[in-house]
Structure 1
Amino acid sequence: MLVVELFVVLLAIYLGSRLGSIGIGFAGGLGVLVLTLGLHIKPGAIPFDVIEIIMAVIAAITAMQVAGGMDYLVSLAEKLLRRQPKYVTFLAPLVTYFMTLLAGTGHTAFSTLPVIAEVAKEQGIRPSRPLSIAVVASQVAITASPISAAVVFAAGILEPHGVSYLMLLGICIPTTLAAVLLTAVVTNFLGKELKDDEVYQQRLKNGEVSVRAASTLEIKPGAKLSVLLFLLGIVAVVGYATAISDTVKLIANPVLPCNEAIVVFMLTIATLIAITCKIDTSKVLSASTFKSGMSACVCVMGVAWLGDTFVKAHINDIQSTAGALLQSYHWMVAVVLFFASMLLYSQAATAKALLPATLVLGVSSVTLVASFAAVLALFVLPTYPTLLAAVEMDDTGSTRIGKYVFNHAFLVPGVLTITLSVVFGFVVGNIVL
């Protein structure tokens, strides 16, 4: 029966990956239906705690976007990249990393990818280099963002095991950032030089390659204020989570738990932006960030629910079979998270589905923190939105998906970033924890 149930889970995930985008959430629900009504398994928990955080953060980000804050941030990023265009392979991942770090979602990279592609092309640099590491950086930063659903969930389950919210951030931010920077060095040498690329030369000959002028975004009057308010919201979240943590205990017996606090702070910031920047709130519903965020909510709901249903039904078997193996080979935790996130299509969904089970198996908190970055393997299958956007925005053809599907520009930077993040995580984790 176990084999049949596992087949249902994998089939649902495969179907979701074929449907793409929000479809993986749809298929997750179908998988739960088959497992529960068809195979009589008790349903797992729907990850509403993760979903509510994503919704609240997206609400604040979208309010900032409608107020012009995203355009303002993109204009700053473009100025930085054009000021030092020769170093675009190193600056591009820094831009996408910190935008995701502050926003809690990798979808902020969409707005900077066209700028990265154009700056690289103007300098004769193979665009696949900065684009690939920029996309990977936007994904790994999810595991270091103070307001990402994945980090908040991980911090919540690790707190009783001696890893506070600040400790988790203190380990994940420097280790993932160092991994991104070192990977950027390697990425700068991947692939042929642009002038020697046959695909580029053919496209150039056919007149399919164009060079755009620097963008002239009109910055709205409330743009800077919206960014300031959003940053204040992040400071409030970090400050409150620290104050109520078991380590600091500045606020004893808090009325407002951490998850609910993030939702309250983010919705409050959205309200303040709407009032002070005088935005048309009806435009929030049609904003690109809002659509991406709500799609992510459905994906997390379906896939994480499916994973939780299967894992809880077989937790004893998993513990007896995998417990000793994971205890002997700690790095296997990262491998499990890597392949799971590749299929589950979401860092938050992977964390929700597997981290609790991993703790039950007796894996140490150091191992779990060090392996946390492995949930970013969304780049392996070339179907993730930011990855596809990077391919589409590079008209030189250097950022392409090979005929064998997996031989694409993002695989090497992604795997290397995860490997370095995990290695650095073990080193720093064993010192700090």
Structure 2
Amino acid sequence: MLWVQLAVVLGAIFLGARLGSIGVGFAGAVGVLVLTLGLGMEPGSIPVDVILIIMSVIGAVAAMQVAGGLDYLVQMAEKILRSKPKYITFLAPTVTYVMTLLAGTGHTAYSTLPVIAEVAKENGVRPSRPLSIAVIASQIAITASPVSAAVVVFSGLLEPMGIGYLQLLAICIPTSYAAIMLTAVVCNFLGVDLDKDEIYQERLKAGMVSLRKTKERQETKPGAALSVAIFGISILAVVLYATAISSTVALIENPVLPRNSAIMVFMMVAATFITMLCKIDSAEIINAQTFKSGMSACICVLGVAWLGNTFVGAHINEIKELSGDILNDYPWLLAVCLFFASMLLYSQAATTRALMPAALALVDPVTAIASFAAVSALFVLPTYPTLLAAVEMDDTGSTRIGKLVFNHPFFVPGTICITLCVAFGFVFAPMVI
């Protein structure tokens, strides 16, 4: 029956990949239905905490977008990118990394991808180089963001082991950014130069490549800067409160408001103040692109994490017996497991919630933290929204998906970056813990 159940899980994930977007979550529920009512398995736990954190953070981000805050950040990003266009391959991932780090969602990268592609074209740089590493940076930054559901959930699992929230961030932020910058060096040598790309030359002759003749500047809304400030203060409040209630600092003993609940409260309070002080129509928030993307992510996490929890929970003892000795001898294999799991589960938070509890029962915390970045292998299958958006934004044709599915410009940089993250984690984590 184990193989039948596994076939159901993989079949549901494959169906979700075919449907795409929110369909990933819907298909996950189909898998849960077959496993429970069809095969008699006990349903796994629903990742309610993950979903609620995503909802509250996305609500604040969407409010900031309606107030013009994201446009304001994009304009700042464009100034940075245009100030040193020769270093676009390093500046582009830095911009998407920081925006994801602050917002807790990689969907903020959408707004910067057109700018990255445009600046690269204007300076004769193959757009696939900065675009590929920028998309990878936006995915890996989730494992370093103070307000991402994946970090919050993982930190909650580590706290009983005496590892605090700030310790986790102190490891994940420098290791992930260092890995991204080193991968950016490699990206500069991937693919032929733009002037030697035959597909680009064909598209150029056919008039399919466009360049902006003027640098259009969108008008900044009156409350744009204020909305960014309010959102930034709320993130700082989250970090400070989480530190104050942690067992290591213990400034607040027996807190009335747990950390997960505090994040939800702070984010929704931020959204309230943005709505009031920036004088936006709250009805417009639900039509914001980030809100739609975030709610789609909630459905995806609900479906695939519930599916994963149902299967893993039913076989946790077998997994421990099978994996225990292997992981003791080869702890780095945990990163490999997380890599392939996230490729299928399509979410850092869903992968963390489904597999990390079992992983922490098998390996030491250092191994788990070092391997954490591997939950970001969402780039393997060329179906993730930000990946597809990058392909669409590049009219030179350099950022293209090959006929073999896996031969796309995101695969090599993503694999290298996660490998470096894990390697740096194994070196750096013991110094912090």
Give the match for residue 182 of structure 2: 182
**1:62 Cα offset (Å):** 0.4
Match of 1:13 in 2: 13
Q: How many angstroms does 1:207 deviate by?
A: 0.5
Residue equivalent to 2:408: 408
Q: Counterparts of 2:426 and 2:188 in 1: how far apart (Å)?
A: 26
State the partner residue of 2:113: 113
Over the residues paired in the alignment, what is the CA RMSD in angstroms?
A: 0.6
For this pair of structures, how many residues does the alignment match?
A: 432
Q: Which residue of 2 aligns with 1:431?
A: 431
Q: Indicate whether 1:62 and 2:53 are aligned.
A: no
Q: How far has the Cα of 1:354 moved from its partner? A: 0.4
What are the ranges of 5 or more consecutive residues in structure 2 without an aligned counterpart?
none
Instruction: Indicate the SS of the match to 2:358.
Output: helix
Local SS of the residue matching 1:320: helix
Code of the aligned partner of 1:260: S
Which residue pairs with 2:284 in the alignment?
283
- Distance in 2 of aligned mates of 1:258 and 1:427: 29
Q: 1:366: which partner in 2?
A: 366
Partner of 1:258: 259
Secondary structure, aligned partner of 1:298: helix
Structure-1 separation of matches of 2:313 and 2:140: 28
CA shift for structure 1 position 323:
1.1
Assess if the C-alpha contact under 8 Å between 2:24 and 2:300 holds in 1: yes
Distance 1:48 1:326 in 2: 29
Partner residue, 1:335: 336
Report the Cα offset of residue 75 of structure 1. Answer: 0.2
Measured in 2, the distance between the counterparts of 1:429 and 1:216 equals 44
Moved >2 Å (runs of 4+): none
Structure 1 unpaired stretches of 5+: none
Quote the Cα distance in structure 1 between the aligned partners of 2:323 and 2:64.
45
Q: Give the TM-score, by structure 1 length.
A: 0.99
Given that 2:113 and 2:393 are in contact with CA atoms closer than 8 Å, whether structure 1 keeps it comes out as: yes
Counterpart residue type for residue 424 of structure 2: F
Q: Distance in 2 between matches of 1:113 and 1:88?
A: 12
State the 1:281 CA deviation: 0.6
- CA displacement at 1:112 relative to structure 2: 0.2
Task: Please state if 1:312 is matched with 2:313.
Answer: yes
Q: Deviation string for 1:258-283 (max 9, x for gaps)?
A: 00000000000000000000001111
Compute the displacement of 1:432 (Å). 1.7
Question: How far does residue 215 in structure 1 lie from its aligned partner after superposition?
Answer: 3.0
Alignment partners' CA distance in 2, 1:119 and 1:359: 44
Separation in structure 1 between the aligned mates of residue 167 and residue 383 of structure 2, nearest angstrom? 33
Give the 3-state SS of the residue equivalent to 1:286 in structure 2: coil
Distance in 2, matches of 1:97 and 1:319, equals 35
* Pair 1:349 & 2:335 matched: no
Which residue does the alignment assign to 1:192? 192
Matched ranges for 1:81-230 at <5 A: 81-212=81-212, 213-230=214-231
Query: Following TM superposition, by how much is the alpha carbon of 1:326 offset from its aligned partner in structure 2, in angstroms?
Result: 1.1
1:343: how far off? 0.5
SS of residue matched to 1:379: coil
Deviations 1:295-347 (A, max 9, x none): 00000000000000111111111111111111111000000000000001110
Tell me the SS of whatever aligns to 2:261: helix
